Amino acid sequence: MYQFADLTERFPMKIDLERARQELQSLEGANWLSHYDVALADGWITIPLVTHDGSASNENSQLLGKWGEYKETVYVDKLPYFREILNAFKCPHGRIRIMKLLPGTIIREHRDTFEEVSDIAFNQVRLHIPIITNDKVIFTVGGKNYHLKEGHLYYVNFTKKHYVRNDGTTARTHLVLDLQVNDFLRGFFPSTTVTQRAEMFLTRNLLPTFLWIPIKMRERLKKRFWNAYEGSSIQALRHRIFPKRA
């Protein structure tokens, strides 16, 4: 199944970058939140537009909720053009965020799995609309590099290993939409072949068991090891044998 698709031509609304950027300017003094997973990046900040409980006050506002229970935040009333964009997606909305990646920042390599999954095979996707970017912002997905153009609508299969670099001197700002796939949204995507549908079926039924669970178990074991190791007599002995150099 494809891991990347430009859906712009099928989207019934043309993105007005000037209007979107004007509204972004009104957010410069707003409370931009750090990403809830600081291990991924330290210069990745967000304004939540739709959250699990309608809050936009802290990092936990960005946590996942249940489909059908997400609520718009106070920012949507302040950003009428962004509301127009949201309303153009006639499908169930999950988290929707304006996400800024500061200059020199890297979103470290990871996969989006389990409830975070963003793969059309699982009938939920994470679409990106770049509002401001530069030519040194590169998405690497499944080992392949992509540059996302301003004003376009993109699908990326984030169950693949991916990371992002902003090596430019300006921030990258995207509207990022978690959406549940229905007939309306499915119509944005190219028609699938029998082979692709079979691949999607296998992905949906095998990937969580044979890839995601082992990854989660490995991460848990690693965390337990380091929690036990830090401050232990074994760590102290290692430091005596192999002292740190100044």
What predicted TM-score, i.e. pTM, was given to this entire model? 0.85
Mean pLDDT of the region 117-126: 92
Helix (H) or strand (E) holding 64: none
Helix, strand, coil share of the chain (percent; to 5): 35, 25, 40
Mean pLDDT, rounded, for 66-81: 97
Q: According to the model, what pLDDT value does residue 136 have?
A: 97
Per-residue pLDDT reduced to its tens digit, 197-239: 888 887 777 777 766 666 667 777 767 776 776 788 877 777 7
CA 42 to CA 45: how far, in whole Å? 8
Chain centre distance of CA 221 = 25
Residue type, 78: K
Q: How confident is the model at residue 245 (pLDDT cuts 50, 70, 90)?
A: low
pLDDT at 210 (0 to 100): 64
- CA dist list (Å): 103 to 24, 149, 167, 177: 17, 17, 6, 22
- DSSP H helices, the chain, are 17-25, 74-78, 80-88, 183-186, 194-207, 213-229, 233-241
Given this model, what pLDDT does residue 236 score?
Answer: 76
- CA 176 vs. chain centroid, Å, equals 7
Q: Decide if pLDDT at 246 tops 80.
A: no
Range of weakest confidence among 144-148, 177-181, 221-225 = 221-225
DSSP-assigned letter for residue 150:
T
What per-residue confidence (pLDDT) applies to 114? 77
- pLDDT, position 7: 97
Q: Are strands 124-132 and 71-72 parallel, antiparallel or unpaired?
A: unpaired
The mean of the pLDDT values for the chain is 90
pLDDT tens column, 46-59: 999 999 999 999 99
Backbone angles phi, psi at 82, to 5 degrees: -65, -35
Written as six digits, the tokens of 143 are 């080992």
Q: Stretch 159-183: mean pLDDT, rounded?
A: 96
Can you give the pLDDT at residue 148? 97
pLDDT at 69 over 80: yes
The answer to whether the CB of 158 falls within 8 A of the CB of 111 is yes
Bigger pLDDT: 28 vs 218: 28
Output the pLDDT for position 233.
81
Separation of first and last alpha carbons in the chain: 51
pLDDT level of residue 243 (50, 70, 90 thresholds): confident
